[in-house]
Amino acid sequence: MRISVVTAVMNGCATLPAMLESLSAQGHLDVEHIVQDGGSTDGTLAYLQAHGHRNMMLESCPDTGIYDAINHGIQRTTGEVIGLLHADDQLVDADVFAWVAKALEDPAIDGVYGDLQYVARNDPSRVIRHWKAGAYSAALLRRGWMPPHPTLYLRREVFIRAGLYDTSFRIAGDYDGMLRFLTQGQVRLAYIPKVMVRMKMGGASNKSFAHMIRKSREDYRAIRRHGVGGIRTLVAKNLSKLPQFISRGQV
């Protein structure tokens, strides 16, 4: 089972080493790394060319935003299974892809996801937020539930059937995409009850108050678009994050 890992990056040289190390450490060897660079100027391209994954395909060109870059990356993949791993992310175990491949041996399963930890940008050993996703059921969508996007691996057929990410979203395109996969696409997900990815805090959705407001507006648009609720769903989605800051787990 070939797993295609898509990395959309723009000036990510500072965090690339840890991500690439975790990717290269995977015991599952049938992996391709599709890197979609937006025109980095900080040494990202040189670092990737010198230290990139053994099966890396690198393209650098302008894009209109993160979801445009991700879509271009997905279109370049050849694997049966597709997931995302960006410069701020790190696979937590050398067997993560083995877990994914094992779960997808079941032909009735379209995709898998697991748990996620957010860690301090200046101290990756310090867990800020521990996202224990739990098993999926359709009823949870109205409570604002979603699988942690950085842990989500989907069969290629899901994107053929349900489409790529909507680039009219600037921050919440992942939430909109997942709602579409789970409603219109009728995707059947398996839950891996383990932390799969650690992600550094400070991404686009939480780097400023203005970004958080825009994120909420885009979340609400996605909720209404896919018929999974309204303002109560949005409130529940935001409130569900609070316990994640209390039960942080361990690195």
> 91: which strand partners?
197
Confidence at residue 206, expressed as pLDDT on a 0 to 100 scale: 55
For residue range 199-233, list pLDDT tens digits in order: 998 765 555 667 889 999 999 999 999 999 999 99
- Taking residues 59-78, report their average pLDDT: 97
> 84: which strand partners?
6
Confidence at residue 204, expressed as pLDDT on a 0 to 100 scale: 57
Contact 129, 118 (CB under 8 A): yes
pTM for this predicted structure = 0.94
For residue range 162-178, list pLDDT tens digits in order: 999 999 999 999 999 99
DSSP 168-190: T-SS-HHHHHHHHHHTTS---EE
Q: In the chain, at which residue ranges do the beta strands (DSSP E only) sit?
A: 3-9, 31-37, 56-60, 81-84, 89-91, 111-120, 123-131, 153-155, 189-200
**What domains can be seen in the chain, in order of their start residue?**
3-246 (3.90.550.10)
